[in-house]
Amino acid sequence: MRSSRERDRLRARMLPSRSVNVAMDALNRCGSRVGVPELGHHLVPELRKAIRPLRWRQRRNSGQQFRPRATLGVDIDRTRGYALWDANAISPAASAMAACVEIASSLGDLDTLVRASSAKPYFVNVLREEHVRAYPALMDFALGDEILSAVVPYYGAMPRLCSIGLYYSAVSGGDAPLQGSQNFHLDTRDPRHLKCFVNLVSVEPEDGAFTFLPADRTEELRRRLGGLWRAQGSEDPTALGAYERAHAIALTGPPGSAGFVDTARCLHYGSRCRRSPRLVFMFHYATFGDYFALSNNPWRDLRLSDYPALRAQFASSSIRRELLSLH
């Protein structure tokens, strides 16, 4: 008889996402030889749709037939790839925000957690599986009709809820060099990573605001720098700096200020906290819930593919089962 830990390990080895990784990496290597290092990231999701056409058609149909019982009144512009909104306007958001604040305050000194964590030195996810279980308001909000009324039309199909996090970003000294996701970058391996960020404290630019270039400006810059298959948009710091000065949008404002941003299409950065720490609630949709097999590291975020019991707990309707399945 296998222990549950052994079963989890075996399951992880058998996840289709392992073969997705292998295929992407192989195609990226081939692409690099002909100057298209992003080849796998572009092709694999399209191949996955093509390999299971009925599944993809069913996902498109259920997306198009979806009629939410409550709406957010927010339209995520497909050209621009983002929408800003005020989470104070809807009660499921208020309950989720209250839960996040309660969780964060139960954890003591969050700067100590950042130092103890095995993720980034400037940023940590403090949410754990037991919090998500104990505070259903978090998943109810991320899977609620209001959120779906904005997210589903953006995909034009039923997307997948991939990850969830309560992010604490620590103040780094004014002269500390920027690292990792504090620099402009794009998320890869899925054509649409729609992330929702809800500020839980008041955030101004110097408090690590999540900052991005709209998708149309990002695409324009990438075409100038070599094309969408070759350039990420951050290769030329002078061109990037000019775009940032002209077009960047920072997710600033009081608690409840929120935004949906497609981080696969909008160059972005965050956590440049020079004055005060930042606390945000984040949840993340993608085309495929297993778009990337990463080793489980809850300090980074909670990848729902690593938490089958959590997915089962919240799969309480056919739509939720869809949103919480991996492919």
User: By CB under 6 A, is residue 252 in contact with ligand AKG?
Assistant: no
Alpha helix positions (H), the chain: 4-14, 16-33, 39-51, 53-65, 91-106, 110-116, 129-134, 137-142, 145-155, 215-224, 237-247, 308-314, 318-324
If binding is defined by CB under 6 A, does position 163 make contact with ligand AKG?
Answer: no
CB-neighbour burial class of residue 60 (10 A; exposed 0-12, middle 13-18, buried 19+): middle
Question: Does 285 sit near ligand AKG (CB under 6 A)?
Answer: no
Please check whether residue 125 is in contact with residue 197, taking contact to mean a CB–CB distance below 8 angstroms: no
User: What count of other Cβ atoms lies within 10 Å of the Cβ of residue 107?
Assistant: 15
* Contact range with ligand AKG by CB under 6 A, out of 21-29, 48-56, 240-248, 263-271: 263-271
Q: Considering the complex, what minimum distance in angstroms separates the CB of residue 215 from ligand AKG?
A: 14
Sign of CA dihedral 4, 19, 160, 213: positive
- Binding piece for ligand AKG, criterion CB under 6 A, among 2-10, 33-41, 50-58, 262-270: 262-270
Residue nearest to ligand AKG (CB): 270
262 near ligand AKG (CB under 6 A): no
Contacting residue, 123, 154, 184, 288, with ligand AKG by CB under 6 A: 123
| 135: region left, alpha or beta (phi > 0 left; psi from -120 to 50 alpha) | beta
Question: How many chain residues bind ligand AKG (CB under 6 A)?
Answer: 10
Phi-psi region of 140 (alpha: psi -120 to 50; beta: other; left: phi over 0): alpha
CA atoms within 13 A on the CB side of 250: 18
Minimum CB separation of residue 7 from ligand AKG in Å reads 31
- Strands 302-303, 257-262: pairing kind: unpaired
Task: Rank residues 187 and 207 by Cβ distance to ligand AKG and give the closer one.
Answer: 187
Could you say which DSSP state residue 273 is in?
A: B
Closest separation in Å from C-beta 50 to ligand AKG: 27
Q: Which of 125, 149, 169, 172 binds ligand AKG (CB under 6 A)?
A: 169
Determine the Cα–Cα distance for residues 82 and 305; give it in Å rounded to an integer.
Answer: 25
Q: 106: closest CA among 120, 92, 126, 122? A: 126
Task: Give the interface segment with ligand AKG, choosing from 21-29, 71-79, 227-235, 267-275 (CB under 6 A).
Answer: 267-275
45 or 208: CB nearest ligand AKG = 208
Judged by CB under 6 A, the chain residues 189 through 218 that form the site for ligand AKG are: 195, 210
CA distance linking residue 327 with residue 324, whole number of Å: 9
Binding status of residue 233 toward ligand AKG by CB under 6 A: no
Give me the least distance between CB of 187 and ligand AKG, in Å please: 5
Cβ closer to ligand AKG: 192 or 195?
Answer: 195
Between strands 278-286 and 160-169, the pairing is antiparallel
Instruction: Give the residue with the Cβ less far from ligand AKG, 27 or 196.
Output: 196
User: Between 35 and 74, how does the x/- string for binding to ligand AKG read (CB under 6 A)?
Assistant: ----------------------------------------
Site membership for ligand AKG, residue 125 (CB under 6 A)? no
271 binds ligand AKG (CB under 6 A): yes
CA pair distance 161, 206, nearest whole angstrom: 30
Our CB check for ligand AKG shows the closer of 42 and 120 to be: 120
Residue in 189, 268, 300, 303 binding ligand AKG, rule: CB under 6 A: 268
- Could you list the residues that contact ligand AKG (CB under 6 A)? 123, 169, 181, 187, 195, 210, 263, 268, 270-271
